[in-house]
Amino acid sequence: MRPATTSETPKFDAPDADFVVLPTPPAIARAAPGALDAQLKPLLQPGEFGDKTAKPLDYAVYIPRGFGVQTADVRLWSSEQPGANFVQPLQTVLTQDLRTGYLESTGLARDQARTATSLVPAIAVSTPAPGGGRERMLVRSVVPLLSAYILLMSLLLSGNWILQGLVEERSNKLIETVLACISPDELLYGKLAGTVAVGLTMVLVWGLCATGAAVATQGAVGAFLHVALAPLASPWIILVMLYFFLAGYLMVSMILLAIGAMSDSMRDAQSYLTPVLLVIAMPFTVVAQGVLSNSGATAIKVLTWIPIYTPFTMLARLGSGVSTMEIVGSGVLLAVFIGIEFVLLARVFRASLLNAGQKPNLAALARLMQRTPA
């Protein structure tokens, strides 16, 4: 590598050796095995023998003569608790020597015995390509799950805008002036269109930023983003995502407009809004965990057919594979639900616009839904 280095390349510093093998003192080399404990103790713990400046010996290993040919115990002395980084390599080397000696005793030449003990199996590991198998499904579920999360978050953000605007118009008596120029239905359609337009614009900006980041990013992160955006390569999936996203936005926005029409203040609006958002958002965690862990399939399928949860559940499931019949069936059911919701909540909206000071209970709310427009 030296020819490729430059003047700015730092010099190579060889790492420190893990161990240094010291020559065996003559007295210990001549000592009988039974006397090694007494001979080694001053070297392992010199402080106990009055030599405070001597550096203690870390390890001492006794390998009997003829090890590998006959059974004999190897002994290890340590000045402290022996570390695995020393004991394991020592055991590996001694195990290989022991096996070599055993094979030699059966008649194999030493070279053949060493070769036999050094044989290891070559394991060819086959795994899915990056983004393949279960990993691929999880990565492909990122964008659908993210779209469901964005739908939920955008509704939480825009919900306050919807309520604040309508409540302020009611509390400041501006609603009477507005209704003198347009009909309640025109007001409803205008607010609904404006709310959906603002929310979708916000989501569109987020989506463009994410797509730009995916295109500009290279390397492993770029490959991950390309796999994550793979579902968007299908026009069918894009249309399905847009349908459920728009349907979910319309469904919840209509509920928020009805709440705003019934509320004289933001405090009243929050008393309606909090339980509604809790009911809508509570199962989202269950859906997300079920999609990512591939568990709870029955619960997720049940939530798919409950219209108020259909947009979030279907958006989250698109990356893991959903049958066409299930998409079409749940989409039709959701459209019917939104149609019925629109008719009923539009009646509540019309009847509540000018009813200041009256906070309807459930029975009154049911009567408002049954009232036909004059």
Judged against a pLDDT cut of 90, whether residue 315 lies above it is answered with no
Same domain, 89 and 139: no
* pTM strictly above 0.85: no
Same domain, 51 and 150: no
- Domain coverage including residue 145: 133-204+232-370
Same domain, 145 and 253: yes
DSSP H/E element including 87: helix 84-105
* 73 DSSP 8-state letter: -
* 70 DSSP 8-state letter: B
Angle between helices 235-262 and 310-317 in degrees, nearest 10: 160
**In terms of C-beta density within 10 A (0-12 exposed, 13-18 middle, 19 or more buried), how is residue 110 classed?**
exposed
- How many domains is the chain partitioned into structurally? 2
Residue 2 forms part of a structural domain: no
- pLDDT tens across 204-220, in order? 776 677 677 666 766 55
Same domain, 180 and 238: yes
pLDDT band at 369 (very low <50, low <70, confident <90, very high): low
Alpha helices, DSSP H, located in 129-234? 133-140, 142-171, 174-179, 184-216, 219-228
pLDDT band at 132 (very low <50, low <70, confident <90, very high): very low
- pLDDT tens across 257-293, in order? 888 777 777 777 777 777 887 887 777 777 777 766 6
Q: Report which of residues 223 and 87 the model is more confident about.
A: 87
Contact by Cβ (8 Å): 356, 269: no
Same domain, 111 and 253: no
Pairing state of beta strands 75-78 and 59-62?
A: antiparallel
Residue 5 forms part of a structural domain: no
Same domain, 198 and 90: no
Same domain, 166 and 314: yes
Given this model, what pLDDT does residue 333 score?
Answer: 92
pLDDT band at 336 (very low <50, low <70, confident <90, very high): very high
- Domain boundary residue, one of 89, 118, 147: 118
Contact by Cβ (8 Å): 78, 59: yes
Given this model, what pLDDT does residue 258 score?
Answer: 81
CB atoms closer than 10 angstroms to residue 159: 22
Residue 220 forms part of a structural domain: no
Same domain, 178 and 324: yes
Same domain, 146 and 185: yes
Given this model, what pLDDT does residue 221 score?
Answer: 56
- Give me 92's structure tokens: 């590996």
Residue 36 forms part of a structural domain: yes
Averaged pLDDT, 4-11: 74
Mean of all residue pLDDT scores within the chain: 75
- pLDDT tens across 177-186, in order? 777 788 877 8
CA-only gyration radius of the chain, Å: 38
Residue 10 forms part of a structural domain: no
Same domain, 81 and 139: no
Averaged pLDDT, 230-243: 73
pLDDT band at 32 (very low <50, low <70, confident <90, very high): confident
- pLDDT tens across 142-162, in order? 666 676 777 777 776 766 777
Distance CA 203, CA 186 (A): 26
Backbone phi and psi for residue 109, each to the nearest 5 degrees, phi listed first: -65, 155
The SS3 call for residue 307 is: coil
Residue 53 forms part of a structural domain: yes
Averaged pLDDT, 304-313: 84
Measured in whole angstroms, the distance separating CA 343 from the mean position of its chain's CA atoms is: 40
Least confident of 10-14, 63-67, 132-136, 169-173: 132-136
Listed residue (350, 348, 353, 341) closest to 369, CA to CA: 348
Listed residue (342, 356, 334, 283) closest to 313, CA to CA: 283
- Domain boundary residue, one of 74, 94, 118: 118
Distance CA 214, CA 229 (A): 8
> What is the signed CA dihedral for 76, 77, 78, 79, rounded to 10 degrees?
180
Measured in whole angstroms, the distance separating CA 279 from the mean position of its chain's CA atoms is: 24
Backbone phi and psi for residue 106, each to the nearest 5 degrees, phi listed first: -90, 0
Residue 195 forms part of a structural domain: yes
- Domain boundary residue, one of 90, 118, 146: 118
Same domain, 262 and 335: yes
Same domain, 187 and 295: yes
Judged against a pLDDT cut of 70, whether residue 372 lies above it is answered with no
Judged against a pLDDT cut of 70, whether residue 72 lies above it is answered with no
pLDDT band at 324 (very low <50, low <70, confident <90, very high): confident
Residue 222 forms part of a structural domain: no
Listed residue (268, 253, 254, 277) closest to 359, CA to CA: 268
